[in-house]
Amino acid sequence: MGDAQRAADVEGALDALDLARRRFVNVVGHELRTPVTTLRGLSEELADATEDELRDLTPAIVRNARRVEALVDDLLLATDITTALPVGEPEPIDLVASAQATWDAFDVDDDLAVNGAIEAVSALRPGAADTLLERVLDNAHRYGRPPFALESTVGDGRVILKVSSEGADLKPDDVHLAFELFYRGEGAVTAAPGFGLGLPVARALARQHDGDLHLEPRPGGGLDVIIDLPAAV
Amino acid sequence: MTRVDHSGEPSLRVLVADDEPDVRLLLRLGLRHHDIAVVGEAADGLEVLAICADQPIDAIVLDLLMPKMNGFEVIPELQRVHSEIGIVAYTTVAGDFVRREMARLGIPLMLKSGDAAPLAEALHRASSEARAGA
């Protein structure tokens, strides 16, 4: 390889690094900006708020502070900072019931159709199942379209959960890049804000528990997110 | 600049359109200091059109990223049916595409902020211009 080729390779690598750096700062800056500016504004309203207004202000301030906390946690998890992974002894948890409870907590009009095994128990560290399921289901509802469905299968020592939603006819690159940090499909960009961290976070948690997360485009549009975890013994 | 209405009644009736309830709460509280009454709230573009068809609105704070019908989609419809209503696009993200689109549509663009004063000024101005041009 000649000097000129080596110089071109180095320049290409530096350009790619610079692009990744700018994308990181851009997305993190913008996504943190909404809860932070909301926190600032709501806090400034505290000074002359009436008692009625305080009843709205106080929980709103807590919600936005928690959102900042969750964004920071997601950033650490999605970038494979292992110190942010959940700790504690794994505990058996029924993922079907947890998924249904998570969906119900969204308090949305759309239903989640649940099919397959009635129970799908895996052992996860405290908090991991809730976060994993919340990120996958939120991704489906935020960027997909009804009908939304969860299909569970238990066998061969594995628990498989498939979360399905209809939606845009995804290009192969969309599916491939969904795990790339801060990537958001073309259709998502004008529909809803978001880090694009949900699926990378869910996959990091699945992998921490000897599992994995796969994506499959649905024929005619939409996405299947497949969560694969060891069955609890 | 903040206009003061000496009658004691807010001079501008504003619709706040944002899918985040806490942003709507912030604007409802923040804009009242600037001679503005938030008389309606919408979480998507379809709700914007329904409210505008149902009650008098002087100006709209319009988030661009909303479900069902986003800001980019609702603006042309508002300009066609409710040209008397001033619109201010209010967004966290203002990349080249957003800036270009808002310039093409003739819509003032503001970045979300904890300070409601610049937004209030933009709403008063957008409303005056829309009324003059309608």
* Class of residue A103 by CB neighbours under 10 A (exposed 0-12, middle 13-18, buried 19+): buried
A56: nearest CB among B25, B30, B115:
B25
pLDDT of B68: 86
Which residue type occupies A113?
A
Separation CA A158–CA A120 (nearest Å): 9
CB-based contact B65 A56, cutoff 8 Å:
no
What are the tens digits of pLDDT across the range B43-96? 999 999 999 999 999 999 999 988 889 999 999 999 999 999 999 999 887 888
CA dihedral B13, B20, B125, B12 (to 10 degrees): 10
Q: Provide the shortest C-alpha distance from residue B23 to chain A (in Å).
A: 6
* Class of residue A40 by CB neighbours under 10 A (exposed 0-12, middle 13-18, buried 19+): middle
Identify the closest residue of chain B to A26 by CA–CA distance.
B93
Identify the closest residue of chain A to B32 by CA–CA distance.
A45
CB-based contact A41 B115, cutoff 8 Å:
yes
Q: Count Cβ–Cβ pairs < 8 Å, chain A vs chain B.
A: 60
B25 CB within 8 Å of a chain A CB: yes
Identify the closest residue of chain B to A48 by CA–CA distance.
B29
The tokens describing B55, both together, are 């009650």
pLDDT at A217 exceeding the cut of 50: yes
- Name the residue ranges covered by the structural domains of chain A: 3-84, 91-230
Mean pLDDT of chain A: 86
Least confident range of A9-23, A83-97, A170-184: A170-184
State mean pLDDT over A73-100: 87
Q: ω into residue A147 within 30 of 0, thus cis?
A: yes
Q: H helices within A46-147, ranges in order?
A: 51-78, 95-106, 128-143
pLDDT: is A104 or A194 the higher one?
A104
Closest CA to A187 of A217, A161, A151: A217
Separation CA A84–CA A21 (nearest Å): 21
A142-160 burial code (b ≥16 CB/10 A, e <16):
bbbebebbbbbbbeeeebb
Count of CB atoms within 10 A of residue B96's CB? 7
Q: Are strands B86-91 and B109-111 parallel, antiparallel or unpaired?
A: parallel
Q: State which fold the A91-230 domain adopts.
A: Heat Shock Protein 90 (3.30.565)
Separation CA A117–CA A155 (nearest Å): 10
Q: Provide the shortest C-alpha distance from residue B132 to chain A (in Å).
A: 31
A68 CB within 8 Å of a chain B CB: no
In chain B, the domains with their CATH numbers are 12-133 (3.40.50.2300)
pLDDT of B76: 95
A224 CB within 8 Å of a chain B CB: no
Identify the closest residue of chain B to A46 by CA–CA distance.
B29
A57 CB within 8 Å of a chain B CB: yes
What are the tens digits of pLDDT across the range A192-215? 444 467 888 899 999 999 999 999
3-state secondary structure of A125: coil
B3 CB within 8 Å of a chain A CB: no
Assessment of whether the complete model's pTM goes beyond 0.90: no
Which residues 6+ apart lie within 8 Å of A62 measured at CB? none
Per CB-CB distance under 8 Å, the chain B contacts of A31 are 92
CB-based contact B20 A53, cutoff 8 Å:
no
CB-based contact A37 B20, cutoff 8 Å:
no
Give the distance between the most distant pair of CA atoms in chain B. Answer: 42
pLDDT of A199: 87
CB-based contact A41 B92, cutoff 8 Å:
no
Q: How confident is the model at residue A178 (pLDDT cuts 50, 70, 90)?
A: low
A192: nearest CB among B21, B67, B113:
B67
Interface test with B, best of A32, A33, A45 (most B CBs within 10 A): A45
pLDDT at B12 exceeding the cut of 90: yes
Q: What is the DSSP letter of A46?
A: G
| Whether the Cβ atoms of residue A183 and residue A177 lie closer than 8 Å to each other | yes
| Whether the Cβ atoms of residue B58 and residue B13 lie closer than 8 Å to each other | yes
Domain A3-84, CATH class in plain words: mainly alpha
3-state secondary structure of B114: coil
CB-based contact A64 B22, cutoff 8 Å:
yes
B64 CB within 8 Å of a chain A CB: yes
Degrees to nearest 5, angle at CA A125 with A122 and A131: 85
Q: What ipTM does this complex have?
A: 0.77
| Whether the Cβ atoms of residue A93 and residue A122 lie closer than 8 Å to each other | yes
Distance spanning both ends of chain B, measured CA to CA: 24
pLDDT of A162: 97
State mean pLDDT over B94-114: 90
The tokens describing B132, both together, are 């003059």
What are the tens digits of pLDDT across the range A129-171? 999 999 999 989 988 889 999 999 999 999 999 999 998 777 7
pLDDT of B119: 95
pLDDT at B8 exceeding the cut of 60: no
pLDDT of A149: 96
Separation CA A207–CA A132 (nearest Å): 11
Separation CA A164–CA A152 (nearest Å): 11
pLDDT of B96: 86
State mean pLDDT over A48-70: 91
| Whether the Cβ atoms of residue A93 and residue A124 lie closer than 8 Å to each other | yes
Separation CA B34–CA B12 (nearest Å): 9
Which residue type occupies A169?
D
The tokens describing A25, both together, are 């700062």
pLDDT at A76 exceeding the cut of 70: yes
